[in-house]
Structure 1
Amino acid sequence: MGRVVLASASPRRREILSLLGIEFEVVPSGIEEHTHGDPITTARRLSYEKALDVWKSNKDALVIGADTLVFVGKEIIGKPRDEEEAFQTLSFLSGRWHRVVTAVSFVSKGFRKTVHDVARVKFRKLSGEEIRFYISTGEPMDKAGAYGVQGFGATIVERIEGNFYTVMGLPIHKVYEVLRKLTMS
């Protein structure tokens, strides 16, 4: 397959991609994430922009870029700017269903492909005290929707409909399908 580069600084994405047993390098993208418009279209655009940004300086590689967004209806719920915004976000999601989309783009010389997957997530009803405690762990501060399903945030998730890894930040089944087709051609 040649050289593979993951265009993400996310330790979760590194962990998930390593499940495939392939060697890869990590070169985070420097693009600014503007999240406006349709959530699925936005995630697909951002994943492609990240992959293309890194590919421009790694043209001998297959670059994988990803973006995860949390949304309710068409409203994108981004990463909280501070603890107060994290509290508002988690209070809003408490006891509710929301959706998580993760888009993944593959860019190399002569190859461009973007895939995405959507999962539904329901939080259990949270008290203000529980929300404050979760925020005190620091975990919500760099994550879309102000939670990480793979960490202590697992305690606030009541149900997931769809792929767990999509919620975590990289739908490994979709990544595997694309990589398998690439190695077969």
Structure 2
Amino acid sequence: MEPMHGEELIGEGNIEDEVLRLARKKVFSIKDTPESGLILGADTVVICEGVVLGKPQNRDNAIEMLRNLSGKMHSVLTGVVIASEDEVIEFVEKTDVEFRELPEGLINDYVDSGLAMDKAGSYGIQDRGAVFVKRIVGDFYNVMGLPVGRIWEILHERGALAV
């Protein structure tokens, strides 16, 4: 499924509640369509020093985000909603990521590559942004936007996966 057009920004409420609200909105925008079966929705944000970083608005915003993350620990929160005909499961996964000090040239090159523009916090741990990371505590895939291990556990417990 494609991301929702014009994804909403996080509001002023509790961050965990907000990422769940946005994930829930994605799920329930399609839940009652004829093809709906098991539906999964997720929304991810980065939080650094109490500031929520979503997807950058423009090049300058992406550069500012990466400068603010440079040399610091931040958290990646993903709200996940899994809905079936019988059940709705919701959770928030948190992963802590520490960045090394980022040289200005590296920040500019990364942003100019276009890789920063569609990601919360302006970086992708799965692409060239991997070099920014000094240490990670938690689910690597959560930083990519989907905590695969936890989702697998939930689906496996319910017999939805054979593996």
Instruction: Provide TM-score, normalisation by structure 1.
Output: 0.80
Q: How do 1:143-182 and structure 2 match up within 5 A?
A: 143-182=119-158
User: 78, 82, 87: which is aligned to 1:111?
Assistant: 87
Q: Which amino acid aligns with 2:152?
A: Y
Q: Which amino acid aligns with 2:137?
A: E
Asked whether the equivalents of residues 30 and 36 of structure 2 are also in contact (C-alpha less than 8 Å), the reply is: no
Identity %: 35
Task: Find the counterpart in structure 2 of residue 33 from structure 1.
Answer: 8
Question: Is the counterpart of residue 132 in structure 1 residue 108 in structure 2?
Answer: yes
Gaps of 5+ in 1: 1-7, 10-27
Q: Which amino acid aligns with 2:63?
A: F
- Inter-partner Cα distance in structure 2 for 1:61 and 1:183: 14
Which range is displaced more, 69-78 or 153-162? Answer: 69-78
Q: Which amino acid aligns with 1:117?
A: E
Which range is displaced more, 46-55 or 56-65? Answer: 56-65
Deviation, structure 1 residue 31: 7.0
Q: Deviations over 1:53-92 (max 9, x none)?
A: 1213246411010111101244211111111111111001
Question: Is the counterpart of residue 57 in structure 1 residue 33 in structure 2?
Answer: yes
Gaps of 5+ in 2: none
- Inter-partner Cα distance in structure 2 for 1:73 and 1:178: 31
Q: Which amino acid aligns with 2:45?
A: L
- Inter-partner Cα distance in structure 1 for 2:116 and 2:6: 22
Instruction: Provide TM-score, normalisation by structure 2.
Output: 0.90
Question: Is the counterpart of residue 101 in structure 1 residue 61 in structure 2?
Answer: no
Q: Which amino acid aligns with 1:79?
A: K
- Inter-partner Cα distance in structure 2 for 1:74 and 1:105: 24
Deviation, structure 1 residue 46: 1.0
Asked whether the equivalents of residues 81 and 89 of structure 2 are also in contact (C-alpha less than 8 Å), the reply is: yes
Q: Which amino acid aligns with 1:34?
A: L
Question: Is the counterpart of residue 79 in structure 1 residue 58 in structure 2?
Answer: no
Asked whether the equivalents of residues 105 and 114 of structure 1 are also in contact (C-alpha less than 8 Å), the reply is: yes
Higher share in helix: 1
